[in-house]
Amino acid sequence: MLSGRRVVLGVTGGIAAYKAVEVCRRLVDAGVHVVPVMTAGAEHFIGRTTLSALASEPVQTSLWTETSPIPHTLLGQQADLILIVPATARLIGAYAAGLSTDLLTNVLLATRAPVVICPAMHTEMWEHPAVQHNLATLRQRGVYVVEPDEGRLAGGDIGRGRLAAPERILAEVERVLGPRDLSGLHVVVSAGGTREPIDAVRVIANRSSGKQGYAIAAEALSRGATVSIVSTVDLPVPCGAVVVRVDTAAQMHTAIAALADDADIIVMAAAVADFRPVAAVDGKIKKEAGVPQIVLEPTPDILAALGANKPAGQTLVGFAAETSDLLANAQSKLHRKQLDLIVANDVSLPGVGFEHDTNAVTLVCADGHVSTVALTDKRAIARAVLDSVCRIRTGNDSAG
């Protein structure tokens, strides 16, 4: 998503400037070419050597002492995005007023690239009418604002104004630079493995970590979608997603059904148990009583129910975790459950599927299109899945 992009990272003179170092590292790790620009105030909080060492090129600070006679123009023209971390009240005011007081404000005025600002300041400053007026002005001009969190501030105070967490900032950068091909759509994703109670302490479960489902949710958000996750696992929630917590297949069925009618895309990435005990014991089964006889019954077939009741225009994606006959089993499930796309993986292979950070999949579409994605990280798998979804929705056989 971000690999090969060029981002000017502006750092201003606030106590949160040290957090820009972590943002810089994460951007570089994502393949971004980071061009750091620091204000004079920022140098009171972090040294330029630190940022220069982590970024893609040395820090720039001046309109007059750099090798280029017009650094602000070149930086503004070459950038895919300008990111300000942190954005102080002073920077926000100068930018809103169109003042070119230093290299960073000149870059902001000399670019047509999207701009993302991340304010950080004390609560009283954040709430001041002048600051809010300036932010409203910038929003009207198309500037993206990552609002601050509530938490501990400089001096031990608690309140609104704490710089947004790095993951929120990176998510916004991905969203702004993303293809926006899911803008205006509601994507529902299921994630994790269901747990069917045997007694008060034991369950029938599986090894699904939920990582692939959450990666799909994060990718959908970066492409402009509204995302709901029906989840059995406790993973960091992608910024902007709404999570519905469930445990059992029946609970997941109910939660998905409540969201299905308004969903444009449903991705059933969860590993749903096929069977559950007919009756769970209220207390704990004691081993002294001997080996218990556990009678099983089928759980609701959520995917089949969704396929049978799919409204016009909805795209339904299923997953198939297999250990043999991958393509044949995937095609059978695709047709039986009336899916538009099935994502199949051989979980017996090293690094594939359950509990891993990587995956390798075969994507089978109802229109006959088949593609494979070799072993890679789960976010890249998510990207391939949603590329296929977009190809299906547009009917463009050359995409994906």
Q: Which of 294, 298, 301, 290 is nearest to 280 (CA)?
A: 294
Distant-in-sequence, close-in-space partners of 393: CB < 8 Å, separation ≥ 6: 265, 315
Other CB atoms within 10 A of residue 247 CB: 15
Residue 12 buriedness (CB in 10 A; 0-12 / 13-18 / 19+): buried
SS3 35: strand
Element (H, E) at 360: strand 358-365
Sign of CA dihedral 83, 89, 95, 101: negative
Cα 198 from Cα 203, distance rounded (Å): 5
Structural contact between residues 11 and 54, judged by C-beta atoms closer than 8 angstroms: no
Residue 206 designated active-site: yes
DSSP 294-349: --EEEPP-HHHHHHHTPPTT-EEEEEEEESS-HHHHHHHHHHHTT-SEEEEEETTS
Cα 327 from Cα 323, distance rounded (Å): 11
Structural contact between residues 40 and 118, judged by C-beta atoms closer than 8 angstroms: no
206, 309, 329, 345: which is the annotated catalytic residue? 206
Bridge partners (DSSP) of residue 82 are 8, 115
Structural contact between residues 364 and 322, judged by C-beta atoms closer than 8 angstroms: no
Cα 42 from Cα 85, distance rounded (Å): 10
Residue 225 corresponds to which tokens in the numbers above? 């979608």
| Catalytic positions, written as ranges | 206
